[in-house]
Chains A and B, each alone.
Chain A
């Protein structure tokens, strides 16, 4: 029983991190239009919010939060990542916002695109 408990405390939860990142992005970027002067503030806010909530989870992990906001202009872009780590204990989440379904429902002309990656590296 003790072993199972330890396991739960020491591994991170994919769904939890997913939820935290989605909520942070939504709360900062909902209904905003791309504005050069404000974008720096939004991007810092997202990074700080996500990092704060991840630390509160209290798991033995180091976190890297990487956020990119791009103006929607028709230009193409590709993001890839490669990792050299422990595939059992470590993990990542990459969230692209907004999802296309969301944009159509809200009938909002989205002028920006946000890609947020969270990497969790185990300390044990």
Chain B
């Protein structure tokens, strides 16, 4: 990941690296977990903070926003959409979903170039 420390555009190899470690973070945190209302708050904060920390230690050319949604698996509909006004060449976003038996976790990462 250090090889991407000086990259200026989020789209490209940096995006793939970020995708890999977000997916592994979600897998590690959510597998074999049941939805608990009290713990979910702590869990989603932990996921957000750990992803943000990894992002910022590897690349300082961006401002990052990490958004995490943890939802109990139930018979309900869910729709999510995002709209961004930025510079398409340097800025970018990623959305990753991870489903287990009891929980659905969705993480959005937005990166704005400095």
B69 at the interface (CB under 8 A from A): yes
Mark out the residues of chain B between 70 and 106 whose CB falls within 8 Å of any chain A CB in the assembled complex: 70-87, 91, 93
Check A71 against B44 for contact (C-beta < 8 Å).
no
Interface size on A, residues (CB 8 A): 43
Check B64 against A65 for contact (C-beta < 8 Å).
no
Chain A positions 35 through 50: 1 when the CB is less than 8 Å from some CB of chain B, otherwise 0: 0100110011011101
Contacts known (A54-B85, A69-B79); A80 close to B110, Cβ less than 8 A: no
A74 contact set on B, CB distance < 8 A: 74
A93 at the interface (CB under 8 A from B): no
Check B44 against A80 for contact (C-beta < 8 Å).
yes
Contacts known (A78-B41, A82-B52); A40 close to B79, Cβ less than 8 A: yes
Check A65 against B35 for contact (C-beta < 8 Å).
no
A71 contact set on B, CB distance < 8 A: 76-78
Determine which of A39, A64, A79, A86 lies in contact with B77 in the assembled complex, contact meaning CB atoms within 8 Å. Answer: A39
Contacts known (A75-B72, A76-B72, A119-B110); A65 close to B83, Cβ less than 8 A: yes
A32 at the interface (CB under 8 A from B): no
A75 contact set on B, CB distance < 8 A: 71-74, 76
